[in-house]
Amino acid sequence: MAEILVIEDDLAFRESLADMLEDAGHAVRTAPNGAQGLAAFAEKCPDIVLLDVMMPGRDGFSVCAEMRAKNPLVPILMLTAKNAERDRVRGLQRGADDYIDKTVGTQELLARIGAALRRAGAIAAHVPDAKPGLGSSFMFGAHRVDGTRYRLIDQRGREHPLAPREVRMLKFLAEHAGESIAREAFIDFLWDGEYAGTTRSIDQAIWRLREKLGTDGRKIKTVHGAGYAYRP
């Protein structure tokens, strides 16, 4: 099935999670903290990462951000006993693909892992030569989007990392400048309609893009009752 890297400091939970995933047919590697998790990630990139949020030393947020900077494609699912909205938003801002409560049932967890792997596969299918990149550069307001290196570059030459999905969203908006784009249209474009979540994920992604774009982010307008529109 898939090779899964589990990074979790609680020994009992880590072992029970690994046993459950192996019973489902997955190959599992584990790490007890962020530092060892990053080392395992660098040694061999897994198909997907299950990452605890609260760990001694480096917490899951910083580990997620470093993993995402090294590999923009691998799915990262953050596991937590906390369920505050600010923590979910923080995890998503660091590049996580999903945020899952540790009390989630086995079948739901396996379903979310499967959905994340399908999304990653769909994105990879659009990547030339299976390399991290989505094509040539294009302009979005005063910013240049480097679709090959997943970078957002401002007028002063400062670079900010982008996830593959963010590059595709910006390209979709730029190609349909002035048009209202429904949230469902984003889902169809990004995941070919194979998405088990809600349209709220699009709202969160747009919010993150606006933050990264600064003043250019104001050009992504909310169209009430419809979706979003890029108005240069």
- How does pLDDT run across 14-28, given as a tens digit for each residue? 999 999 999 999 899
Q: Three-class SS of residue 181? A: strand
- Taking only the tens place, the pLDDT of each residue in 88-114 is 666 666 678 888 888 889 999 999 898
Contact call for residues 170 and 143 (beta carbons, < 8 A): no
Cα-only R_g, the chain:
18
| CA count, 13 A, side-chain hemisphere, 138 | 14
pLDDT of residue 85: 63
Contact call for residues 102 and 13 (beta carbons, < 8 A): yes
- Arithmetic mean of pLDDT, 161-172: 86
pLDDT of residue 166: 86
Contact call for residues 176 and 220 (beta carbons, < 8 A): no
DSSP 8-state code for residue 95? T
Structural domains for the chain: 3-125 (3.40.50.2300), 130-230 (1.10.10.10)
Helices 200-213 and 183-191, axial angle in degrees (round to 10): 90
pLDDT surpasses 90 at 148: no
Q: Where would I find the H helices in 125-221?
A: 164-175, 183-191, 200-213
User: In which band, very low, low, confident or very high, does the pLDDT at 193 lie, cut at 50, 70 and 90?
Assistant: low
pLDDT of residue 116: 84
pTM of the model as a whole = 0.57
pLDDT of residue 158: 84
The rounded distance, in Å, linking the Cα atoms of 213 and 107 is 38
pLDDT surpasses 60 at 198: yes
**Residue 157 CA, distance from chain mean position:** 25
CA distances from 198 to 30, 64, 183, 224 (A): 30, 23, 10, 17
pLDDT of residue 223: 93
